[in-house]
Structure 1
Amino acid sequence: MLCFYAWILVHLLVESLPLSSSGHLFILQKFLCENLVALQKYFFDLDVFSDVLHGVTACVVALFFFRRWFTLLYAGYQEIKTNRMKIFTQKILLLVLFTGIADGITSFFYFVFKNYGMPPLPVYVGFAFTAVALFVSTYVGEVKNNKRQITQSNFLLFACILGIVQGIALLPGISRLATTYTAGRLLGFSHRNSFAVSFMIQWPLIVAASTVGIYKLYSVGLLSQLLHLQILLVIVIGGVGAWYALILTEYCARKNKLYFFSVYLLIIVVLLLLSDF
């Protein structure tokens, strides 16, 4: 069970970092916890439990952005009071459409990969791609400080671009957060908006995945067995760790120091190549 606890902690922590959670879980299972294969074979599908854990990530993200969301809603309330309901409605509708289009494109990638299989991409290639993306975000942060917003004139193009990037990030070793954040910076968003938009287009997907995962485990009677005290304690610890990991990631993005994660990833790539992985 120790390997299972480690799997939960790694899953929750890495989800809040500009790293690939699936890539790290794959390495953990391959090199350190081979008995997780037996656990998956005879008891339950780890992918389903992974979907359940996305619910924890969704809660952490919601708490992290609570102040910003509350500010948006309060501003909307003020506009309603001043008879500017139409302006507020347009803003919300624009964000909903933006997120829906991006997630629709990502879902297309998901179903293609699910039905036809993932391309044979080694995990170290995905790690290297993520490292390059983080280096690019650092460079963009030094030479570019635009404060572009989502508007009626650009939302369709930007949603399509970010949806494609998020879909590509389904490949092994590629970080969704790193690539969508970098794409946002390249499109001209500030670090703050790039960070927020990255999680905005992720949030509905992980809420949906978590709901489906909970239903699947509940329908076969495994949910109550899995969520006993020890596992719940590990999940709580992982959730707290994810909160601080998210704070660390935002700090590194704000200070333009995400390249630290690039260095870490390149070390992992070298180790994987030396191990003849």
Structure 2
Amino acid sequence: MNTLEALILGIVQGLTEFLPVSSSGHIELGTYLLNVQSSDNLIFAILVHGATALSTIVVFRRDILDLLRGLLKFSWNEETQFVAKIVISMIPVGLAGVLYEDEIEQLFGGNVVFVALMLLVTGTLLLITWFTKDRDGSVTWWKALIIGIAQAIAILPGISRSGATITTALYLGVEKNKATRFSFLMVLPPIIGAMLLKFKDIAEAPELATNIPVSVLITGFVAAFVAGLIACQWMISIVRKGKLIYFAYYCYAIAIITLIFYFIS
């Protein structure tokens, strides 16, 4: 991987982590088109995911500080309940990762037809939001679990995590700003947990980390972080304005182009 490829993949990761178009799907398509295997390099994967997690922390820094202050009060307050709901939302994705790790990994590695089909699913989820009425509900305990199931399904390349979780929350009647806030904050623990597991894999088998120049790694990290900052704030505005349908068209277009390109090449 060279610097230009790292720049491109970093931007793709940063943008698509938050926009409802599937970061894993776009990384799969990007590595396929660029003919690189960055998804197999644990160091690069850790850095770009860490960059998007950091951009989330920056955008929601006040919310995170409020949650921490609430937790330190050691009482069953609003902040503690919110964190507890995030923990509940983590259960499905944690179980999926533990029970079906090998099966999930087999779906990655250049399976662009599967990615295209899942992008069609993502597009349909986004399209349906156009017909849902605005609600003013909150994230309840059972809604947190259902949103968590949506996040687990979004492990599949081509299913957008933000798209699946936010649309699920909207379908359940959660108010737009609350749906976006919960969706973005609930992803932090799984990302950090996945990063720690990858560090563990590298510690146990250093050969898994292929030799990529430091300059390339830094380029990927900075690109993912800056793109993540932009995309995270943009996505908040998109949900508030009810413009998710435009990304449905995008997902359909990318899926159809991918299928055409694959079968004629």
Short-chain TM bin: 0.7 to 0.9
Identity between Structure 1 and Structure 2 (%): 25
Distance 1:276 1:116 in 2: 23
Q: Tell me if structure 2 keeps the 8 A contact 1:48–1:216.
A: no
Of structures 1 and 2, the one scoring higher in RCO (CA 8 A, sep 6+) is: 2
Unaligned runs of 5+ in 1: none
Give the match for residue 41 of structure 2: 46
| 1:79-158 → structure 2 map (5 Å cutoff) | 88-117=75-104, 122-140=114-132, 143-146=133-136, 148-150=137-139, 154-155=140-141, 157-158=142-143
TM-score by length of 2: 0.83
1:230–1:10: structure 2 CA closer, same or farther, 3 Å change rule? Answer: same
Question: Highest Rg: 1 or 2?
Answer: 1
* Letter of the 1:9 counterpart: I
1:196 is the counterpart of 2:181: yes
Q: Tell me if structure 1 keeps the 8 A contact 2:122–2:158.
A: yes
Q: What RMSD in Å do the two structures reach over aligned CA positions?
A: 2.9
1:274 is the counterpart of 2:257: no
Q: Tell me if structure 2 keeps the 8 A contact 1:54–1:209.
A: no
Distance 1:124 1:261 in 2: 14
- Number of residue pairs aligned between Structure 1 and Structure 2: 255
* Deviation digits for residues 185-226 of structure 1 (CA, Å, limit 9, x no counterpart): 111111111001112221101011223334544662887964
Q: Tell me if structure 1 keeps the 8 A contact 2:14–2:231.
A: no
* Letter of the 1:235 counterpart: F
Q: Tell me if structure 2 keeps the 8 A contact 1:105–1:163.
A: yes
* Deviation digits for residues 202-257 of structure 1 (CA, Å, limit 9, x no counterpart): 11010112233345446628879647234313421331121011111111111111
Unaligned runs of 5+ in 2: none
Give the match for residue 229 of structure 1: 215
Distance 1:264 1:116 in 2: 28
1:188–1:97: structure 2 CA closer, same or farther, 3 Å change rule? Answer: same
1:59 is aligned, of 46, 54, 64, to: 54
* Deviation digits for residues 16-56 of structure 1 (CA, Å, limit 9, x no counterpart): 211111111111122x222x14x77xxxx335632342211
The range that moved more, 123-132 or 228-237, is 228-237
1:100–1:171: structure 2 CA closer, same or farther, 3 Å change rule? Answer: same
* Letter of the 1:197 counterpart: F
TM-score by length of 1: 0.80
* Deviation digits for residues 129-188 of structure 1 (CA, Å, limit 9, x no counterpart): 111111222332xx2222x224xxx41x22221121111111121001001001111111
